[in-house]
Amino acid sequence: MPLLGMVGWRGMVGSVLMDRMAAEGDFKLVKTRFFSTSAAGKAAPKVDGESEPTLRDATDIASLGECSHIISCQGGDYTKQVYPQLLAAGWKGYWIDAASAKRMDDDTVIVLDPVNLGVIEQALQKGTKAFAGGNCTVSLMLLALGGLFKAGAIEWLNSMTYQAASGAGAANMKELLSQMGCVHASVKDMLDDPSSSATAVEAKSREADLPKDAFGHALAGSLLPWIDKEVENGMSREEWKGQAETNKILGLESDRTVFVDGICARVGVLRCHSQAFTIKLKEDMPMEEIEQLIKSHNEWVDVVPNNKEASLSELTPAAVSGSLRIRVGRLRKMQQGPQYLTAFTVGDQLLWGAAEPLRRTLRIILSFEANQ
Protein backbone atom coordinates (compact mmCIF):
# COMPACT_ATOMS: atom_id res chain seq x y z
CA MET A 1 0.00 0.00 0.00
CA PRO A 2 1.33 3.52 -0.79
CA LEU A 3 2.80 5.37 2.18
CA LEU A 4 1.49 8.95 2.32
CA GLY A 5 3.36 11.57 4.32
CA MET A 6 1.23 14.42 5.64
CA VAL A 7 3.00 17.65 6.64
CA GLY A 8 1.32 20.84 7.85
CA TRP A 9 -1.98 19.09 8.53
CA ARG A 10 -2.89 21.22 11.58
CA GLY A 11 -2.91 24.64 9.90
CA MET A 12 -5.79 26.41 8.20
CA VAL A 13 -5.45 24.67 4.83
CA GLY A 14 -4.21 21.43 6.35
CA SER A 15 -7.19 21.05 8.67
CA VAL A 16 -9.62 21.66 5.81
CA LEU A 17 -7.71 19.12 3.73
CA MET A 18 -7.90 16.55 6.53
CA ASP A 19 -11.68 17.01 6.76
CA ARG A 20 -12.11 16.63 3.01
CA MET A 21 -9.88 13.55 2.81
CA ALA A 22 -11.84 11.95 5.63
CA ALA A 23 -15.17 12.82 4.00
CA GLU A 24 -14.13 11.36 0.64
CA GLY A 25 -12.45 8.23 2.05
CA ASP A 26 -8.99 9.15 0.76
CA PHE A 27 -7.22 7.76 3.82
CA LYS A 28 -8.55 4.29 3.00
CA LEU A 29 -6.42 4.25 -0.16
CA VAL A 30 -3.06 4.72 1.59
CA LYS A 31 -1.15 4.15 4.79
CA THR A 32 -0.57 7.56 6.37
CA ARG A 33 2.46 8.85 8.24
CA PHE A 34 1.96 12.21 9.95
CA PHE A 35 4.82 14.65 10.40
CA SER A 36 5.25 17.65 12.67
CA THR A 37 7.84 20.42 12.95
CA SER A 38 7.21 20.85 16.68
CA ALA A 39 5.56 17.75 18.19
CA ALA A 40 7.49 14.73 16.91
CA GLY A 41 7.00 11.72 19.17
CA LYS A 42 3.51 12.70 20.26
CA ALA A 43 0.33 10.91 19.20
CA ALA A 44 -0.69 11.24 15.56
CA PRO A 45 -4.29 11.88 14.57
CA LYS A 46 -6.51 8.89 13.93
CA VAL A 47 -8.00 8.48 10.49
CA ASP A 48 -10.39 6.06 8.80
CA GLY A 49 -7.60 4.01 7.29
CA GLU A 50 -4.23 2.57 8.20
CA SER A 51 -1.92 5.10 9.84
CA GLU A 52 1.09 5.26 12.12
CA PRO A 53 0.33 6.15 15.77
CA THR A 54 3.21 8.55 16.36
CA LEU A 55 4.17 11.85 14.79
CA ARG A 56 7.47 11.90 12.90
CA ASP A 57 9.92 14.78 12.64
CA ALA A 58 9.07 16.84 9.55
CA THR A 59 12.76 17.56 8.95
CA ASP A 60 13.81 13.89 9.09
CA ILE A 61 14.80 13.32 5.46
CA ALA A 62 15.18 9.56 5.93
CA SER A 63 11.68 9.25 7.35
CA LEU A 64 10.21 11.49 4.67
CA GLY A 65 12.11 9.55 2.04
CA GLU A 66 10.31 6.34 2.95
CA CYS A 67 7.04 7.89 1.79
CA SER A 68 5.88 7.22 -1.76
CA HIS A 69 3.73 10.38 -1.71
CA ILE A 70 3.96 13.55 0.38
CA ILE A 71 1.34 16.26 0.76
CA SER A 72 2.72 19.44 2.32
CA CYS A 73 0.68 22.35 3.67
CA GLN A 74 3.62 23.54 5.76
CA GLY A 75 4.48 26.57 3.65
CA GLY A 76 7.04 27.71 1.12
CA ASP A 77 10.02 27.98 3.46
CA TYR A 78 9.58 24.34 4.45
CA THR A 79 9.40 23.29 0.80
CA LYS A 80 12.57 25.20 -0.04
CA GLN A 81 14.36 23.58 2.88
CA VAL A 82 13.21 19.96 2.57
CA TYR A 83 12.42 19.20 -1.07
CA PRO A 84 15.97 19.72 -2.40
CA GLN A 85 17.30 17.51 0.40
CA LEU A 86 14.85 14.78 -0.53
CA LEU A 87 15.95 14.86 -4.16
CA ALA A 88 19.61 14.88 -3.16
CA ALA A 89 18.94 11.76 -1.08
CA GLY A 90 17.58 10.03 -4.18
CA TRP A 91 13.87 10.26 -3.38
CA LYS A 92 11.64 9.31 -6.33
CA GLY A 93 8.22 9.90 -4.79
CA TYR A 94 5.42 12.34 -5.59
CA TRP A 95 5.39 15.77 -3.96
CA ILE A 96 2.01 17.57 -3.70
CA ASP A 97 2.30 21.07 -2.26
CA ALA A 98 -0.11 23.80 -1.17
CA ALA A 99 2.64 26.43 -1.14
CA SER A 100 3.68 28.70 -4.00
CA ALA A 101 7.41 27.92 -3.70
CA LYS A 102 7.56 25.51 -6.66
CA ARG A 103 4.54 26.57 -8.71
CA MET A 104 6.45 28.24 -11.50
CA ASP A 105 9.34 25.73 -11.58
CA ASP A 106 9.72 23.84 -14.85
CA ASP A 107 9.55 20.48 -13.04
CA THR A 108 6.23 21.32 -11.37
CA VAL A 109 2.62 21.26 -12.60
CA ILE A 110 0.01 23.55 -11.05
CA VAL A 111 -3.03 21.34 -10.44
CA LEU A 112 -6.70 22.14 -10.95
CA ASP A 113 -8.07 19.00 -12.57
CA PRO A 114 -11.56 20.23 -13.57
CA VAL A 115 -9.63 22.72 -15.71
CA ASN A 116 -6.33 21.05 -16.63
CA LEU A 117 -6.69 17.30 -16.15
CA GLY A 118 -5.10 16.76 -19.57
CA VAL A 119 -2.04 18.77 -18.55
CA ILE A 120 -1.73 16.72 -15.34
CA GLU A 121 -2.08 13.39 -17.15
CA GLN A 122 0.50 14.35 -19.78
CA ALA A 123 2.91 15.36 -17.03
CA LEU A 124 2.48 12.03 -15.28
CA GLN A 125 3.20 10.19 -18.52
CA LYS A 126 6.41 12.22 -18.85
CA GLY A 127 7.51 11.31 -15.32
CA THR A 128 6.70 14.56 -13.50
CA LYS A 129 6.78 14.07 -9.73
CA ALA A 130 6.12 17.58 -8.36
CA PHE A 131 2.65 19.10 -8.22
CA ALA A 132 1.43 22.30 -6.58
CA GLY A 133 -1.95 23.80 -5.89
CA GLY A 134 -2.51 27.16 -7.55
CA ASN A 135 -3.07 30.63 -6.17
CA CYS A 136 -6.48 30.76 -4.52
CA THR A 137 -7.99 33.54 -6.63
CA VAL A 138 -6.58 32.09 -9.87
CA SER A 139 -8.03 28.66 -9.11
CA LEU A 140 -11.42 30.10 -8.21
CA MET A 141 -11.41 32.27 -11.33
CA LEU A 142 -10.60 29.35 -13.62
CA LEU A 143 -13.32 27.19 -12.11
CA ALA A 144 -15.84 30.00 -12.41
CA LEU A 145 -14.95 31.03 -15.96
CA GLY A 146 -13.50 27.74 -17.16
CA GLY A 147 -16.06 27.37 -19.92
CA LEU A 148 -15.00 30.67 -21.51
CA PHE A 149 -11.30 29.80 -21.21
CA LYS A 150 -11.87 26.34 -22.70
CA ALA A 151 -13.74 27.85 -25.63
CA GLY A 152 -10.85 30.26 -26.24
CA ALA A 153 -13.31 33.12 -25.95
CA ILE A 154 -11.27 35.44 -23.72
CA GLU A 155 -8.83 37.98 -25.20
CA TRP A 156 -7.97 39.59 -21.87
CA LEU A 157 -9.34 39.81 -18.36
CA ASN A 158 -9.10 42.28 -15.50
CA SER A 159 -9.80 41.05 -11.96
CA MET A 160 -10.49 43.11 -8.88
CA THR A 161 -10.30 40.77 -5.89
CA TYR A 162 -11.93 40.96 -2.46
CA GLN A 163 -9.93 38.44 -0.44
CA ALA A 164 -10.88 37.09 2.98
CA ALA A 165 -8.70 37.41 6.06
CA SER A 166 -8.29 33.64 6.32
CA GLY A 167 -6.45 33.71 3.01
CA ALA A 168 -3.54 35.24 4.90
CA GLY A 169 -3.61 32.50 7.56
CA ALA A 170 -5.28 31.43 10.77
CA ALA A 171 -3.61 34.13 12.89
CA ASN A 172 -4.85 36.81 10.49
CA MET A 173 -8.43 35.59 10.58
CA LYS A 174 -8.37 35.53 14.39
CA GLU A 175 -6.88 39.00 14.43
CA LEU A 176 -9.73 40.32 12.28
CA LEU A 177 -12.22 38.95 14.81
CA SER A 178 -10.24 40.53 17.65
CA GLN A 179 -10.22 43.84 15.80
CA MET A 180 -13.98 43.63 15.30
CA GLY A 181 -14.42 43.00 19.00
CA CYS A 182 -12.22 45.96 19.93
CA VAL A 183 -14.12 48.27 17.59
CA HIS A 184 -17.45 47.20 19.06
CA ALA A 185 -16.19 47.52 22.64
CA SER A 186 -14.94 51.05 21.95
CA VAL A 187 -18.40 52.28 20.97
CA LYS A 188 -20.72 49.96 22.89
CA ASP A 189 -21.89 52.67 25.29
CA MET A 190 -22.68 54.96 22.38
CA LEU A 191 -24.56 52.22 20.56
CA ASP A 192 -26.67 51.65 23.66
CA ASP A 193 -27.52 55.35 23.75
CA PRO A 194 -30.23 56.16 21.16
CA SER A 195 -29.21 59.82 21.19
CA SER A 196 -25.69 59.08 19.88
CA SER A 197 -25.20 60.23 16.30
CA ALA A 198 -23.89 57.82 13.71
CA THR A 199 -21.05 60.18 12.79
CA ALA A 200 -19.95 60.40 16.42
CA VAL A 201 -20.01 56.59 16.71
CA GLU A 202 -17.94 56.25 13.55
CA ALA A 203 -15.40 58.82 14.71
CA LYS A 204 -15.06 57.11 18.08
CA SER A 205 -14.60 53.70 16.44
CA ARG A 206 -11.49 55.00 14.67
CA GLU A 207 -9.87 55.62 18.04
CA ALA A 208 -10.05 51.93 19.02
CA ASP A 209 -6.71 50.36 19.92
CA LEU A 210 -6.60 47.38 17.55
CA PRO A 211 -4.25 44.39 17.56
CA LYS A 212 -2.11 44.53 14.39
CA ASP A 213 0.54 41.85 14.88
CA ALA A 214 -0.62 39.75 11.92
CA PHE A 215 -1.75 42.31 9.35
CA GLY A 216 0.25 45.29 10.55
CA HIS A 217 -2.77 47.49 9.86
CA ALA A 218 -6.45 47.80 10.71
CA LEU A 219 -8.70 45.56 8.61
CA ALA A 220 -11.89 45.75 10.67
CA GLY A 221 -13.95 48.60 9.26
CA SER A 222 -11.38 49.06 6.51
CA LEU A 223 -9.58 47.22 3.71
CA LEU A 224 -5.99 46.61 2.64
CA PRO A 225 -5.33 47.41 -1.04
CA TRP A 226 -2.10 45.42 -1.25
CA ILE A 227 -1.39 41.69 -0.81
CA ASP A 228 2.07 40.08 -0.80
CA LYS A 229 5.40 41.55 -1.88
CA GLU A 230 6.10 44.34 -4.37
CA VAL A 231 7.26 43.22 -7.80
CA GLU A 232 7.91 44.96 -11.11
CA ASN A 233 5.62 47.51 -12.78
CA GLY A 234 3.92 48.55 -9.55
CA MET A 235 2.28 45.16 -9.14
CA SER A 236 1.99 43.06 -6.02
CA ARG A 237 3.14 39.45 -6.26
CA GLU A 238 -0.48 38.37 -5.75
CA GLU A 239 -1.46 40.36 -8.85
CA TRP A 240 1.50 39.00 -10.83
CA LYS A 241 0.33 35.45 -10.16
CA GLY A 242 -2.89 36.13 -12.08
CA GLN A 243 -1.39 35.97 -15.57
CA ALA A 244 1.59 33.76 -14.76
CA GLU A 245 -0.35 30.96 -13.08
CA THR A 246 -3.41 31.16 -15.32
CA ASN A 247 -1.41 30.48 -18.44
CA LYS A 248 0.69 27.76 -16.82
CA ILE A 249 -2.39 25.95 -15.51
CA LEU A 250 -3.96 26.08 -18.97
CA GLY A 251 -0.73 24.91 -20.59
CA LEU A 252 -0.64 27.90 -22.94
CA GLU A 253 2.55 28.79 -24.77
CA SER A 254 3.75 32.40 -24.92
CA ASP A 255 2.19 32.97 -28.34
CA ARG A 256 -1.24 32.07 -26.93
CA THR A 257 -1.03 34.05 -23.68
CA VAL A 258 -4.27 35.24 -22.13
CA PHE A 259 -3.56 38.60 -20.52
CA VAL A 260 -4.73 38.81 -16.91
CA ASP A 261 -4.32 41.89 -14.73
CA GLY A 262 -6.03 43.62 -11.83
CA ILE A 263 -5.78 44.73 -8.21
CA CYS A 264 -5.91 42.43 -5.19
CA ALA A 265 -7.34 43.70 -1.91
CA ARG A 266 -7.91 42.20 1.53
CA VAL A 267 -11.36 42.85 2.98
CA GLY A 268 -12.99 42.24 6.36
CA VAL A 269 -14.47 38.86 5.45
CA LEU A 270 -13.54 35.74 7.41
CA ARG A 271 -13.69 33.15 4.62
CA CYS A 272 -14.28 33.07 0.84
CA HIS A 273 -12.75 35.22 -1.88
CA SER A 274 -14.81 37.30 -4.30
CA GLN A 275 -13.71 38.76 -7.63
CA ALA A 276 -15.14 41.33 -10.02
CA PHE A 277 -14.13 40.82 -13.64
CA THR A 278 -13.96 42.96 -16.74
CA ILE A 279 -13.55 40.58 -19.68
CA LYS A 280 -12.73 41.39 -23.30
CA LEU A 281 -14.12 38.63 -25.51
CA LYS A 282 -12.47 37.80 -28.82
CA GLU A 283 -15.83 38.23 -30.52
CA ASP A 284 -19.41 39.08 -29.63
CA MET A 285 -21.34 36.17 -28.13
CA PRO A 286 -24.99 35.97 -27.04
CA MET A 287 -25.47 36.05 -23.27
CA GLU A 288 -27.31 32.72 -23.46
CA GLU A 289 -24.25 31.08 -25.00
CA ILE A 290 -21.95 32.67 -22.43
CA GLU A 291 -24.05 31.42 -19.53
CA GLN A 292 -24.28 27.94 -21.04
CA LEU A 293 -20.51 27.71 -21.50
CA ILE A 294 -19.97 28.73 -17.88
CA LYS A 295 -22.49 26.45 -16.19
CA SER A 296 -21.74 23.39 -18.33
CA HIS A 297 -17.99 23.45 -17.74
CA ASN A 298 -17.93 21.69 -14.38
CA GLU A 299 -20.37 20.37 -11.79
CA TRP A 300 -19.52 22.92 -9.09
CA VAL A 301 -20.27 26.20 -10.87
CA ASP A 302 -23.63 27.94 -10.50
CA VAL A 303 -24.81 30.86 -12.62
CA VAL A 304 -26.71 33.36 -10.48
CA PRO A 305 -29.41 35.42 -12.25
CA ASN A 306 -28.36 39.05 -12.65
CA ASN A 307 -30.96 40.64 -10.41
CA LYS A 308 -30.82 42.27 -6.99
CA GLU A 309 -32.49 39.55 -4.91
CA ALA A 310 -30.52 36.63 -6.34
CA SER A 311 -27.24 38.52 -6.14
CA LEU A 312 -27.70 39.53 -2.50
CA SER A 313 -28.87 36.10 -1.36
CA GLU A 314 -26.68 33.78 -3.45
CA LEU A 315 -23.58 35.70 -4.57
CA THR A 316 -21.91 36.35 -1.23
CA PRO A 317 -19.23 34.76 0.96
CA ALA A 318 -21.88 33.86 3.53
CA ALA A 319 -23.80 31.91 0.89
CA VAL A 320 -20.93 29.62 -0.15
CA SER A 321 -18.64 29.40 2.89
CA GLY A 322 -17.76 25.80 3.68
CA SER A 323 -19.09 24.49 0.36
CA LEU A 324 -17.54 23.50 -2.96
CA ARG A 325 -19.97 25.66 -4.93
CA ILE A 326 -18.53 28.39 -7.17
CA ARG A 327 -21.03 31.13 -7.89
CA VAL A 328 -20.90 33.37 -10.97
CA GLY A 329 -23.23 36.32 -11.31
CA ARG A 330 -23.62 39.97 -12.37
CA LEU A 331 -23.15 38.72 -15.93
CA ARG A 332 -23.94 41.41 -18.47
CA LYS A 333 -22.53 43.14 -21.52
CA MET A 334 -20.81 46.42 -20.72
CA GLN A 335 -21.44 49.84 -22.23
CA GLN A 336 -18.00 49.77 -23.86
CA GLY A 337 -19.38 47.38 -26.49
CA PRO A 338 -20.75 43.87 -27.13
CA GLN A 339 -17.35 42.19 -26.68
CA TYR A 340 -17.01 43.48 -23.12
CA LEU A 341 -18.43 41.35 -20.33
CA THR A 342 -18.66 41.90 -16.58
CA ALA A 343 -18.92 39.12 -13.99
CA PHE A 344 -18.72 38.67 -10.23
CA THR A 345 -17.66 35.39 -8.62
CA VAL A 346 -17.35 34.00 -5.11
CA GLY A 347 -15.93 30.74 -3.78
CA ASP A 348 -14.38 29.21 -0.69
CA GLN A 349 -10.64 29.75 -1.04
CA LEU A 350 -9.85 27.12 1.59
CA LEU A 351 -11.56 24.43 -0.49
CA TRP A 352 -11.15 24.84 -4.26
CA GLY A 353 -8.61 27.58 -3.70
CA ALA A 354 -6.33 25.38 -1.60
CA ALA A 355 -7.21 21.95 -0.17
CA GLU A 356 -9.46 20.30 -2.77
CA PRO A 357 -7.01 20.23 -5.70
CA LEU A 358 -4.40 18.55 -3.47
CA ARG A 359 -6.54 15.59 -2.43
CA ARG A 360 -7.88 15.15 -5.97
CA THR A 361 -4.33 15.16 -7.33
CA LEU A 362 -3.38 12.38 -4.92
CA ARG A 363 -6.24 10.28 -6.31
CA ILE A 364 -5.22 11.03 -9.89
CA ILE A 365 -1.65 9.93 -9.16
CA LEU A 366 -2.77 6.77 -7.37
CA SER A 367 -5.02 5.89 -10.32
CA PHE A 368 -2.19 6.53 -12.76
CA GLU A 369 0.16 4.26 -10.81
CA ALA A 370 -2.45 1.50 -10.58
CA ASN A 371 -2.81 1.47 -14.35
CA GLN A 372 0.90 1.29 -15.15
Active site residues: 136, 273
CB atoms within 10 A of CB 12: 22
Can you tell me whether residue 177 is helix, strand or coil?
Answer: helix
Side-chain half-sphere of 202: how many Cα atoms within 13 Å? 5
48 DSSP assignment: S
Whole-angstrom distance, CA of residue 333 vs CA of residue 340: 6
Amino acid at 250: L
CB atoms within 10 A of CB 258: 15
* Cβ contact 183:199 at 8 Å: no
H helices of 89-236, where? 113-125, 136-150, 170-192, 198-205
Whole-angstrom distance, CA of residue 266 vs CA of residue 35: 32
Whole-angstrom distance, CA of residue 228 vs CA of residue 235: 10
Give the list of residues 6+ apart from residue 49 with CB closer than 8 angstroms, or none: 25, 27, 28, 29, 30, 31, 32
Whole-angstrom distance, CA of residue 41 vs CA of residue 53: 9
Among the listed residues 306, 357, 351, the one whose alpha carbon sits nearest the alpha carbon of residue 328:
306
